Amino acid sequence: MRIGVVSDTHMFRRSQSLPQDLVEGLRGVDMILHTGDWIDEEVVDLFADLAPIDGVAGNNDGPAIVRRFGRRKVLELAGYRIGLIHGDGGRSTPDTAFQAFCDADGKGTVDIILFGHSHTPYLERKDGILLFNPGSPTDKRRQPRYSFGILRLGADLEAEHHYYDHK
């Protein structure tokens, strides 16, 4: 299974379209997962035109997006438990995301944690859990390039960032 991972689009549908490099990079994925800060619920349709979409709301999303997606969830896909969260509310975004999916003993309850918030691409394995932040495809902030991720779920678990220069 090949999944596109995006976060922090910070865009309004009525004024923008998805960057062409992002559209091309997501072409052919089985599903798209968004880890929050969509900003406008109509942006969901831009992604849904490419593939089935699911995700969570971020700290900048309004009540309609929160109602539609929630702020935290666990999906089971291709035999993997995937935790989705935006990652806001703590000092370190990766630590905040990791702690959100730990039990009372501090053990992870998922195989993969997808998060956003910092706009910073991130990939690490911690205590057997893959932590992955795709960065932002439309709001790179202090990063040199825009980015999104591709997650491959099969016999092995693979995650990689894809970068581009122009939105």
**48 three-state secondary structure:** helix
**83 three-state secondary structure:** strand
Closest to 136 (Cα-Cα) out of 120, 122, 155: 120
For residue 158, the cross-strand partners are 152
Sign, CA torsion 17/25/93/84: positive
- What are 152's two structure tokens? 């491959």
For residue 163, the cross-strand partners are 147
Separation CA 98–CA 110 (nearest Å): 10
pLDDT tens digit sequence for 104-133: 888 889 999 999 999 999 999 999 999 999
pLDDT tens digit sequence for 55-105: 999 999 999 999 999 999 999 999 999 999 999 987 789 999 999 999 888
Separation CA 143–CA 67 (nearest Å): 31
